[in-house]
């Protein structure tokens, strides 16, 4: 009789695409120490992928992970993580998304899938509860993610199955390729779609008919009811229901956090922004709101375009990133174009953050005469021309013409182009960076120190933008600081970053959405609330403080992977040069920039909080042993990259 493990599917599915062998192992051997989702994924990746393995080597792992709470009624417990060695940074590759895929996998009995090897021909994995098989995918290779979703459902004869797949971007090993579920939910950044393509794996399709059992049902439902009510009552959560993540567009522009023309400015022309306000998108294009499994937020909105060159398009998942990526960054002031570009990224399986950044780099190179029409297949890369961006996304996905260079990302593209083009690359640890940073110091620090190479979802904070309304007693209770300083201050920002690094690791490992947490608003759910839900679900008692220690452990596993595989150190935790040397050129904070000496002091504080060495940025034996990671300390010491 199978041993019962509460709140888990119970098994890790292993698939060797080279040999075709499929087997399982129990999840419980990992879950107590790393929770699940991202935490367990990273642990497996660290131990099974050695530094000599390259990202497209068959020995690289591609790991899908559901969170511990996924499949339960915990609010927004619907997320999955995917990890691999990144072809973009050479270090940790990690992404997270929502949808129905993760709970369906859990209902089939699996908490994780670990892929290794490479198939000789295109395949997809079909999971029907305990029946698992590798199927031929030659008839869908070359198809978009939208077509792939429909064709596999036709193959299986069930429209309700859940599918995660790649598009042409992943097949062609585009460095910004992502993995799409539900036609709109992207596991983006880090080139994970390209790793999937390198294995000739087109998709994972799953149907699950099981259920998830919790240890203490009555206690669990009491905690869940309180959590749902807290989310329902939050004004900030309500803004998500109304506008989605785009609701703060005007405020963030006033805060000079709008990347304009490849960060030549951080403040977008208000007259242009008036054409694309949250109210405008809602009133002009919204068809309905979309929520996924156990979601009290319904923050995803479905839009339909009725008129103009993109008439007839219906798509879902429009996020604030779209505004930054295609309105601000490329200076496009035609609102329907942004919906079109968003949908193309989903169809091609391209991460829109990285893709738009690379295109913006190319636009600036064109602006400055570094490249010309003879280099761009006759295209005029002029700011605001959305038709050109449509064509460039297609060229990138299929590696056609200039798309062959852009598919490598701006850092590698600049090395190929030369002629001073590297000056206009905005990247972190080799990955294109999409966030404006000069006007918010804590936000900037969180983006720059992120192990996966940029991103605001691994430690960057939003609370500094709301500092005036946060009482000192809340600041002390939640973050352990006297008060939250404004965004231009460097004081205590390292503490905020470390707090949110730990919290985000927990959220990704529990499988819950960050918009239900104190990352989005202090009145939402924090470590103590999640700890009570977790304890009731699993039967393993844990406090909020202990949960945060697990978050620190997960973060240190990622840090160690980067040290061994990519040799990242202190120098890789600094912002792009443009943000240090060029001030904001317009808007309320004109003249503001990041200061190198202040940054260094903030970085020192950040390392001290983690227990890492300030000179090198490397980990110490003491910090790793305190986190029960002594074996990792031993490995780092052998390579000479541990501070004793």
Mind listing the pLDDT tens digit for each residue in 136-166? 999 999 999 999 999 999 999 999 999 999 9
pLDDT band at 248 (very low <50, low <70, confident <90, very high): confident
Residue 225 lies in a domain: no
**Residue 403 shares a structural domain with residue 465:** no
**Residue 595 shares a structural domain with residue 459:** yes
CB 443 within 8 Å of CB 599:
no
**Residue 180 shares a structural domain with residue 262:** no
Q: With a threshold of 0.85, does the pTM exceed it?
A: yes
- Compute the average pLDDT of residues 495-501: 98
- Compute the average pLDDT of residues 111-134: 98
Is residue 119 pLDDT above 70, yes or no? yes
For tokens 């978009």, name the residue: 144
- CATH code, domain with 255: 1.10.569.10
Residue 228 lies in a domain: no
Predicted pLDDT of residue 236: 87
Residue 473 lies in a domain: yes
Q: Of 432, 449, 473, at which residue does a domain stop?
A: 432
Is residue 251 pLDDT above 80, yes or no? yes
**Residue 301 shares a structural domain with residue 167:** no
Tell me the pLDDT tens digit for each residue of 438-465: 999 999 999 999 999 999 999 999 999 9
Is residue 526 pLDDT above 50, yes or no? yes
Residue 330 and residue 361: Cα distance in Å, rounded?
10
Residue 224 lies in a domain: no
Residue 466 lies in a domain: yes
**Residue 382 shares a structural domain with residue 507:** no
pLDDT band at 1 (very low <50, low <70, confident <90, very high): very low
Predicted pLDDT of residue 2: 53
Predicted pLDDT of residue 3: 60
Q: Of 182, 207, 232, at which residue does a domain stop?
A: 207
Tell me the pLDDT tens digit for each residue of 8-23: 999 999 999 999 999 9
Residue 234 lies in a domain: no
**Residue 422 shares a structural domain with residue 447:** no
Total domain count, the chain? 3
Tell me the pLDDT tens digit for each residue of 391-422: 999 999 999 999 999 999 999 999 999 999 99
pLDDT band at 60 (very low <50, low <70, confident <90, very high): very high
Tokens of 28: 């419980």
Residue 227 lies in a domain: no
Residue 337 and residue 345: Cα distance in Å, rounded?
12
Neighbouring C-alpha atoms within 13 Å toward the C-beta of 103:
22
**Residue 278 shares a structural domain with residue 146:** no
CB 125 within 8 Å of CB 132:
yes
**Residue 134 shares a structural domain with residue 264:** no
Under the phi-then-psi rule, with left for phi > 0, alpha for psi from -120 to 50, and beta for the rest, what region is 317?
left
- CATH code, domain with 445: 1.10.599.10
**Residue 426 shares a structural domain with residue 445:** no
Domain that holds residue 114: 11-207
Pairing verdict, β 123-128 and 201-207? parallel
Predicted pLDDT of residue 639: 95
Is residue 249 pLDDT above 90, yes or no? no
Q: What is the mean pLDDT of the chain?
A: 96
**Residue 42 shares a structural domain with residue 73:** yes
**Residue 281 shares a structural domain with residue 405:** yes
- Compute the average pLDDT of residues 323-352: 96
Task: State the SS3 of 483-539.
Answer: CCCCCCCCCCHHHHHHHHHHHHHHHHHHCECHHHECCCCCCCECHHHHHHHHHHHHC
pLDDT band at 239 (very low <50, low <70, confident <90, very high): confident
Q: Of 192, 207, 222, at which residue does a domain stop?
A: 207
CA–CA distances in Å: residue 597 to residues 205, 574, 580, 594: 51, 11, 10, 9
Tell me the pLDDT tens digit for each residue of 555-603: 999 999 999 999 999 999 999 999 999 999 999 999 999 999 999 999 9
**Residue 541 shares a structural domain with residue 623:** yes
Q: Which residues have C-beta within 8 Å of that of residue 47, sequence separation ≥ 6?
A: none
Residue 608 lies in a domain: yes
Tell me the pLDDT tens digit for each residue of 194-225: 999 999 999 999 999 999 999 999 999 999 99
What phi and psi, each to the nearest 5 degrees, are found at residue 290? -125, 130
């Amino acid at each position: 009789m199978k041993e019962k493990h509460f709140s888990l599917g119970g098994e890790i599915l292993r698939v060797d695409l080279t040999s075709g062998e499929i087997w399982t192992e129990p999840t419980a051997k990992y879950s107590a120490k790393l929770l699940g989702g991202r935490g367990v994924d990273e642990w497996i990746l660290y131990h099974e992928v050695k530094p000599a393995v390259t990202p497209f080597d068959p020995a690289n792992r591609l790991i899908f992970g559901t969170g511990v709470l996924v499949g339960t009624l915990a609010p927004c417990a619907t997320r999955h993580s995917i990890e691999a060695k990144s072809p973009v940074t050479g270090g940790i590759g990690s992404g997270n998304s929502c949808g129905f895929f993760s709970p369906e996998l859990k209902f089939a009995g699996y908490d994780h899938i670990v892929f290794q090897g490479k198939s000789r021909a295109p395949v997809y994995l079909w999971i029907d509860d305990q029946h698992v098989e590798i199927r031929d995918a030659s008839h869908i290779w070359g198809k978009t993610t939208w077509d792939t979703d429909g064709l596999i459902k036709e193959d299986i004869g069930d429209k309700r199955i859940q599918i995660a797949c790649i598009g042409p971007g992943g097949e062609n090993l585009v460095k910004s390729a992502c993995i799409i579920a539900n036609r709109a939910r992207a596991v983006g950044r880090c080139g994970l779609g390209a790793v999937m393509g390198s294995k000739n794996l087109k998709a994972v399709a799953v149907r699950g008919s099981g259920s998830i059992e919790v240890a203490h049902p009555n206690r669990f439902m009491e905690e869940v009811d309180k959590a749902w009510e807290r989310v329902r009552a939050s004004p900030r959560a309500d803004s998500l229901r109304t506008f989605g993540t785009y609701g703060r567009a005007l405020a963030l522009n006033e805060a000079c956090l709008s990347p304009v023309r490849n960060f030549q400015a951080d403040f977008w022309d208000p007259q242009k922004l008036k054409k694309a306000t949250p109210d405008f998108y809602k009133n002009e294009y919204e068809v309905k709101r979309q929520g996924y499994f156990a979601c009290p937020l319904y923050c995803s909105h479905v839009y339909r375009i009725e008129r103009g060159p993109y008439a007839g398009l219906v798509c879902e998942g429009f996020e604030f990133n779209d505004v930054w990526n295609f309105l601000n960054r490329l200076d496009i002031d035609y609102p329907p174009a942004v919906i079109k570009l968003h949908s193309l990224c989903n169809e091609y399986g391209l991460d829109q953050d990285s893709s738009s950044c690379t295109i913006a780099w190319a636009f600036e190179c064109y602006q400055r005469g570094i490249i010309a029409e003879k280099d761009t297949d006759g295209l005029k890369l002029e700011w605001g021309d959305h038709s050109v961006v449509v064509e460039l996304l297609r060229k990138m996905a299929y590696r056609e013409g200039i798309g062959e260079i852009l598919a490598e990302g701006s850092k590698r593209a600049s090395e190929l182009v030369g002629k001073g083009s590297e000056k206009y690359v905005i990247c972190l640890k080799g990955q294109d960076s999409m966030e404006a940073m000069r006007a918010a110091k804590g936000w900037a620090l969180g983006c720059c120190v992120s192990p996966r190479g940029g991103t605001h979802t691994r430690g960057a904070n939003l609370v500094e933008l709301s500092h005036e309304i946060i009482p000192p007693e809340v600041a002390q209770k939640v973050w352990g600081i006297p008060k939250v300083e404004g965004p231009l201050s460097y004081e205590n920002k390292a503490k905020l970053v470390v707090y949110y690094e730990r919290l985000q690791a927990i959220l990704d490992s529990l499988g819950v959405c960050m918009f239900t947490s104190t990352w989005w608003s202090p009145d939402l759910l924090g470590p103590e609330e999640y700890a009570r839900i977790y304890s009731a679900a699993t039967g393993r008692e844990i406090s909020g403080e202990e949960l945060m220690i697990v978050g620190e452990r997960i973060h240190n596993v990622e840090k160690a992977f980067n040290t061994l595989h990519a040799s990242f150190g202190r120098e890789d935790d600094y912002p792009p040069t443009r943000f240090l040397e060029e001030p904001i050129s317009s808007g309320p904070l004109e003249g503001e920039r990041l200061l190198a000496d202040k940054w260094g002091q903030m970085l020192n504080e950040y390392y001290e909080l983690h227990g890492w060495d300030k000179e090198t940025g490397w980990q110490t034996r003491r910090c790793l042993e305190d986190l029960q990671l002594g074996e990792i300390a031993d490995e780092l010491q052998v390579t000479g990259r541990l501070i004793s």
